[in-house]
Structure 1
Amino acid sequence: MNSPLPLDEAQARLLALAAPLEVAHVPVADALDRFLAEPLLARRTQPPADLSAMDGYALGGTDVSGPWNIIGESAAGHPFPNKVGPGEAVRISTGAILPVGAQTVLLQEDATRDGNRLVLAGSIPAVGRHIRRAGFDFATGQDLLPSGQRITPAVLALAVAAGHATLPVHKKPSIVVIDSGDELASDPTQCAPHQIPASNGPMLEAMLASLPCNVTRIGPVPDDLSKLASALDTADSADLIVTSGGASVGDHDLVRPALEAWGAELAFWKVAMKPGKPIMVAQRESAGCRQLVLGLPGNPVSSYVTAYLFMLPLIRTLLGASRALPVRIFASAGTALAAGGQRQEFIRARWNGHSVSPLTEQDSSALRALSAANALIDRPAGSAAVTAGEEVSLYLLDNGGIA
């Protein structure tokens, strides 16, 4: 039997199986939280002309000692049409185009106006002050962002300002989530003594809600080969199938034989991590397309941790993200930590912005502790014991660990 893979090797092997899906151009408003499929180039210059950065007066010439004769106004969207000469000024608002001949903007609080006569009331301004020069943000043809960049609200605003009404993104992957097990009850209000509510399916579906994908949930499916086969047939056109439960080696763990009968080929099985060792990855070629299968453990904490470290990065890869894996950060340990064991361990913890402390309960079935956690402390296999105050690495659970 093959030894469990180290986590980083397993993640690399999984992501190497995936490729970004085909490209589509969508309206900018529909591109939020997706990933650029091509570099973002500026189609216009921003700002398109010299603009005032403040409310005040645009002064003609280079003599900024005054006085000046006010000859008009330049407002945002309504530029002053004429030239401004020495000794002349134009009332100007923030964002308005600087009139031809104006060299400096005098702040309104530094000036006194009497009719059309303007005199200096504060310190003499430096020539060229309070002006946003044309193209200081970006110019036509400039490369603004690389492909793979996540489209945040700020990126969306940049794209619109750069002249884009649509953006190239990768197709939303089709995901099918299947949870299996005879012990699972679909209705949490109707559980017999030998049953538990099927919580993994809703949990995984909720985790997927943070990414742009189309999700179908099937189950819970009993431990029966024919019913598992039927569920897989339902997922026949999915880009990714995520199963929960049945991926271990017990007599009733039937996901692996069901996948083999379905035509999937095992890529690897078991990772040297805790919780989550019995994770399984398979693939199937169907109609010239590759379908991926991610078999997660049935214990809810194991399912969550492996989904965080494998499922979410895999979907980001399908979406064309340049950074698929969660971001590791560092903080001081709030309490002492024991030496690492034989497997890399992910300890459910609370991070307060400065230090991180493990929760008391670390059982892989303990949902109450998982719900209280906002971080996973990463304890490498064989790592030395840590005293309170020493630095440890961790992953934040919010937003899938991606900033």
Structure 2
Amino acid sequence: MTTTTSLQEIASCLSGYDPQALRVELAQDFIARLVPRVAAVEQLALRSALGRVLAEDIVSTINVPAGDNSAMDGYALRGSDLSTDSDGDIRLQLAGTSFAGGPAGQDLAPGQCQRIMTGALMPPGLDTVVPQEFTRLDGDMVVIPAGLLRAGDNRRLAGEDLALGQVALAAGKRLRPADLGLLASLGRAEVPVRRRLRVAMLSTGDELRSIGEPLSAGCVYDSNRYTLWALLQQLGVEVLDLGVVRDDPAALRAAFETAAVSADAIISTGGVSVGEADHTKRVMAELGEVLFWKIAMRPGRPMAIGRINQAILFGLPGNPVAVMVTFYAFVREALLAMAGAAPQPLPWLRAACLQPLRKKAGRTEYQRGIVSLAPDGGWQVQITGNQGSGILSSMSQANGLVVLGHEQGDVAVGELVDVMPFEGLNG
């Protein structure tokens, strides 16, 4: 991946850019202009391609289905034979059976029908299928109630799923289980995908301890790496975990240099706010082209963005909730774009707020919420309680973020608010 535009050139393209009070949408715009795309392509077997990004359009080389066929077990007939006798029923002579995987069957004369199984090819001239449960047999005659069918019912047309020459899946698609099935229906054994994005992550701070180490006075276990690891796993990237790096210039320099030569993107947590003991900002600035932002948001105000060599750097705050919020707000879509994926923003919904919320205009706020179905069938949301940026349990309880916009003020009970659900509303 190569990049040529400087950070200052990108900033000059943004109206209202102010690194000391940067609006969320401007930060998102800046990052979208900054990040490059993975260019390398590899061929993968279908069962190894789940979650990977298609590198080129997949064009159907066949019709799916290959020919007109029955959508259910029943009797195939001509739509023109759907006329009733004096008793008000339709009576057709039974002539043969068609099975799935077999030939289409014989030509039938008007007034005849054929027993047919689900998926079997429609015999020549026949265009309608009556489900067997709606019929009765009278000798060799099939009796069908009047008014039950219209011509063309219960028939699948050749190519109605995928037509020859149609783009079945577009480049940039992240392959899901249904996509693998679709590719299999085309007979594809391999697919071209983008090389997996490599992301290095590290935590900074002398107060951090890894799991298994004893806690000294004033120290805490590092939760951020586990949160980030899980978030990155959901994106299907390759993760390089550089662990906890102490607040020492030499150690920080070594870690960032390792990350820059090993990964496409670097995510660090901690060391980007104002603090005399933090050497992280200075080392970042010495190693690459880095901007230090104060974003008009809560939580997650301090953030670093830039490049070290060709690796994109995301310097996130140290507080656990701020890490998750800034990841969802800025990093998630950026990494997907770097991986070559088409834009995949998390869907937002509108929900009635079950409690009053205090909010200052002039910043975007992300409050942890629990979204549920309201009695009227709409969505409702309640806040998880203490919204401090160090209260990670509030994120565990939540299934989405209530997003209060930059200009928005206090919220009254029952007022509709924007909610960004996490990966799903399944708790």
Q: Check whether TM > 0.5.
A: yes
Mapped pair 1:297 → 2:317: yes
Rounded to whole Å, the distance in 2 between the matches of 1:293 and 1:266 is 8
Residue equivalent to 1:247: 272
Mapped pair 1:220 → 2:244: yes
Number of residue pairs matched? 394
Residue equivalent to 2:204: 180
For the Cα contact (< 8 Å) 2:59–2:166, is it kept in 1?
A: yes
For the Cα contact (< 8 Å) 1:342–1:382, is it kept in 2?
A: yes
For the Cα contact (< 8 Å) 2:54–2:170, is it kept in 1?
A: yes
Rounded to whole Å, the distance in 1 between the matches of 2:353 and 2:214 is 42
Letter in 2 for 1:241: I
Q: Which runs of 5+ in 2 are unaligned?
A: 1-17, 85-89, 374-378
Q: Which runs of 5+ in 1 are unaligned?
A: none
Tell me the CA shift for residue 268 of structure 1.
4.6
Cα 1:265–1:163 shift into 2, 3 Å: same
Cα 1:121–1:341 shift into 2, 3 Å: closer
Rounded to whole Å, the distance in 2 between the matches of 1:210 and 1:326 is 13
Cα 1:303–1:21 shift into 2, 3 Å: same
For the Cα contact (< 8 Å) 2:305–2:312, is it kept in 1?
A: yes
Partner SS for 1:232? helix
Mapped pair 1:327 → 2:344: no
Tell me the CA shift for residue 250 of structure 1.
0.7
Rounded to whole Å, the distance in 1 between the matches of 2:168 and 2:325 is 35
For the Cα contact (< 8 Å) 1:28–1:164, is it kept in 2?
A: yes
For the Cα contact (< 8 Å) 1:110–1:123, is it kept in 2?
A: no
For the Cα contact (< 8 Å) 1:271–1:278, is it kept in 2?
A: yes
Q: TM-score, normalised on structure 2?
A: 0.86
Tell me the CA shift for residue 251 of structure 1.
1.3
Mapped pair 1:10 → 2:27: yes
Q: Can you list the C-alpha shifts for 1:172-229, whole angstroms capped at 9, x where unaligned?
A: 1111110011001112562122210011111111111101111011121110011111
Identity within the alignment, %: 34
Mapped pair 1:129 → 2:153: yes
Residue equivalent to 2:397: 372
Rounded to whole Å, the distance in 1 between the matches of 2:20 and 2:196 is 35
Rounded to whole Å, the distance in 1 between the matches of 2:211 and 2:70 is 63
Which of 259, 263, 274 is 2:298 aligned to?
274
Mapped pair 1:85 → 2:109: yes
Cα 1:326–1:119 shift into 2, 3 Å: closer
Tell me the CA shift for residue 114 of structure 1.
5.3
Which of 206, 223, 226 is 1:202 aligned to?
226
Partner SS for 1:269? strand
Partner SS for 2:282? helix
Partner SS for 2:324? helix
Rounded to whole Å, the distance in 1 between the matches of 2:134 and 2:369 is 55
Q: TM-score, normalised on structure 1?
A: 0.91
Q: Calculate the aligned-residue CA RMSD, in Å.
A: 2.2
* Paired residues for 1:66-105 under 5 Å: 67-105=91-129
* Paired residues for 1:350-361 under 5 Å: 350-353=370-373, 354-361=379-386
Mapped pair 1:161 → 2:161: no
Mapped pair 1:191 → 2:215: yes
Partner SS for 2:302? coil
Moved more, 337-346 or 384-393: 337-346
Rounded to whole Å, the distance in 2 between the matches of 1:60 and 1:322 is 46
For the Cα contact (< 8 Å) 1:27–1:165, is it kept in 2?
A: yes
Letter in 1 for 2:337: T
Letter in 2 for 1:238: A
